[in-house]
Amino acid sequence: MVRILLNIVALLVVAVLSAGGAILIAVNTPDGRDLGWVAGAAVSGYLLAPLLLASLSSFWEVGRSADARRGERRLLLVTVGVQVLATVAMCVFTVATGAAWWLTPLFLVVGVAAMAAAVALVPFLRRVDRARPADTSPPGYGRAEFRRDLRRILVTIVATLVGGAVVMGGLLALLAPDELSLVLRYAPLLAVMGGGIACVLVSGRLGRRIRDLVGGDMGRADRIGKVVVRNKDISLSPEDEELVAPFARLSWVSQVYQLAWVILFFVATAALQLFRFADDPTDPWPMWFVVAFGAALIAVIPVTVIQVRRTRSFAVAAEDRAPR
């Protein structure tokens, strides 16, 4: 629960800083509407890269093995690279739009500070995560657990729909009675996002089981994942071979929940952009966003489905070989 609250706080901080950055850029840019997405991507890179670094570094035992340490170095290089690209994007934006020159160094300082904070918080986040009670569930995902998780997801969707409609309806009735119809727009979107968050929580729980299965060793999980998920022909130690079956049983289910929340997130985001386009048809950006995001999703879904089927085949084959 503490880690969930910390994640929520981190996302709220990122959202507030992103909103503040957008306002700052808009105020200090003469005419940057057409290239606003460049600045938005840069701000996202400055803030989300440190968040990713802190999350993954605290989740895994990055010093457990040589492979894990190499993975940590790659992760650090990726996050630093994202911030470098964000700086380049911000420079392009300021030059192309005539924005205030100090925007780039300001956001660079924010990005460096966020990176330093992420690195400093990793030990604390790791202690919080390890303080949770150990999961004694067997290395699998049975029908009873699936039914329980499905009920939780459905209850979350319904509760978010009803609660969101009541709160939004009450606020609009008090502040803008003529806009009550907006409840029909946004309450279902809140429900979709609530369902996505519920899927993230299930996937996170399964991810912790996978982590515990490999002793928190990110390098070990990567090796087994290459064989199970990506069908790589690499040799595994006898100890790793023993983990292939339980790894596969957990991994394919986790992938399904990950795909579910990505789809739900896309549905909610695309709907918001379509509503924005309906309110202002002269602004083409929402439609471009939906098309680009949709194309990326269409490209990702087949690959993910293939990986899920491959991983599940490992799990089924392991069950068939198991002694009865």
Same domain, 95 and 201: no
Q: Are residues 182 and 307 in the same domain?
A: yes
Residues 119 and 146 in one domain: no
Q: Is 62 helix (H, G, I), strand (E, B) or coil?
A: coil
Sign (positive or negative) of CA dihedral 165, 171, 173, 177: negative
Is the separation of the CB atoms in 189 and 161 below 8 Å?
no
Q: Are residues 228 and 260 located together in one domain of the fold?
A: yes
Which domain does 27 fall in, by range?
A: 1-132
| CB atoms near residue 284 (< 10 Å) | 11
The residue from 132, 149, 173 where one domain ends is 132
Whether 151 and 126 map to the same domain: the answer is: no
The upper half-sphere exposure of residue 15, i.e. CA atoms within 13 Å in the direction of its Cβ, equals 6
How many angstroms separate the Cα of 84 from the Cα of each of 10, 52, 88, 288?
22, 16, 6, 26
Let me know: does 24 contact 103? Beta carbons within 8 Å: yes
Exposure pattern of 97-125 as b/e (b: 16+ CB <10 Å)? bebeeebbeebbebbeebbeebeebbeeb
Residues 122 and 166 in one domain: no
87 and 157: one domain?
no
Closest among 44, 21, 33 to 103, alpha carbons compared: 21
Structure tokens, 208: 């912790």
Question: Taking a C-beta distance cutoff of 8 angstroms, is the pair 38, 92 a contact?
Answer: yes
- 185 and 50 in a common domain: no
- Per-residue model confidence as pLDDT tens for the chain (324 residues): 556 666 667 766 777 777 778 778 878 877 756 677 788 888 888 888 888 888 888 888 776 777 778 878 888 889 889 999 999 999 988 888 888 888 889 998 988 998 888 888 888 887 877 776 666 666 678 889 999 999 999 999 999 999 888 988 888 888 888 878 888 888 888 889 889 888 988 998 898 899 888 888 888 888 888 888 888 888 888 888 888 888 988 999 999 999 999 999 888 888 888 888 888 787 777 788 888 888 988 888 998 999 899 888 888 876 665 554
Distance between CA 115 and CA 121 in Å, rounded? Answer: 10
Do 195 and 322 have their domain in common? yes
DSSP annotation of 142: -
Evaluate whether 200 touches 261 at the Cβ level (below 8 Å).
yes
Long-range contacts of 316-322 (CB under 8 A, 24+ apart): 318/244, 318/245, 318/248, 318/249, 319/245, 319/249, 322/245
- 284 shares a domain with 216: yes
Whole-model pTM?
Answer: 0.80
Structural contact between residues 40 and 47, judged by C-beta atoms closer than 8 angstroms:
no
Distance CA 33, CA 40 (A): 11
